[in-house]
């Protein structure tokens, strides 16, 4: 299974842990956007990633309901004009990715608001510790890794994530926002 990763790397701890989703998997091509790149270099890399044939397109980093942000937050790298409309096996792991996907009729597996640091937890009124956030985020990334490794169809991914009363408040928040559309 060929996996293309479009990784908008802000250079923070939130983005650093995302690499756990694909590290060690076979047949992965990573297109990493960094803050050291110029806007035209980033745009060229995004176009190359979107044009590369693959079985799964994984887009990750920081984002909003308007799309995936550039590493310096100056522009949207994936937005309404370059969304992967013709693909069904898309995975969007960035804040509000599901809202973006629903707005533009995209298909795949997406996160909603996803707490990846204590400031986000405070902003959304989720009581938890930094350790709970780190643990839940690591578990989530490892779950994505396993689903990719096992070549589970993306249409079945949502069934692998369940919320229980025993889960931490951050896990309950993050998992309840997942969607397949």
Helix (H), strand (E), coil (C) string for 67-119: EEECCCCCCEEECCCCCCCCCCCEEEECCCHHHHHHHHCCCEEECCCCCCCHH
Q: What is the pTM of this model?
A: 0.95
Q: Are 138 and 18 contacting, i.e. CB atoms less than 8 angstroms apart?
A: no
Structural domains in the chain, sorted by start:
3-180 (3.40.50)
CA distance 80 to 149: 30
Average of per-residue pLDDT across 141-155: 97
pLDDT tens-place string over residues 81-106 = 888 777 889 999 999 999 999 999 89
Mean pLDDT of the chain: 94
């Amino acid at each position: 299974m060929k996996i293309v990763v479009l990784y908008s790397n802000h250079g923070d701890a939130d983005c650093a842990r995302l690499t756990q989703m694909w590290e060690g998997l076979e047949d992965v091509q990573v297109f990493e956007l960094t803050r050291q790149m110029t806007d035209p270099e980033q745009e060229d890399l995004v176009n190359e990633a979107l044009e590369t044939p693959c079985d799964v397109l994984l887009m990750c980093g920081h984002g909003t309901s308007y799309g995936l942000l550039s590493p310096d937050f100056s522009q949207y790298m994936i937005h309404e004009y370059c969304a992967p409309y013709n693909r069904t096996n898309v995975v969007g792991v960035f804040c509000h990715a599901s809202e973006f996907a629903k707005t533009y009729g995209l298909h795949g597996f997406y996160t909603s608001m996803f707490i990846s640091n204590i400031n986000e937890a405070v902003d959304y009124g989720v009581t938890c510790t930094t350790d709970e956030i780190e643990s839940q985020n690591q578990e989530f990334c490892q779950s994505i890794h396993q689903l990719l490794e096992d070549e589970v169809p993306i249409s079945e991914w949502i069934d692998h994530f369940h919320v229980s009363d025993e889960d931490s408040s951050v896990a309950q928040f993050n998992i309840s926002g997942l969607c397949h559309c």
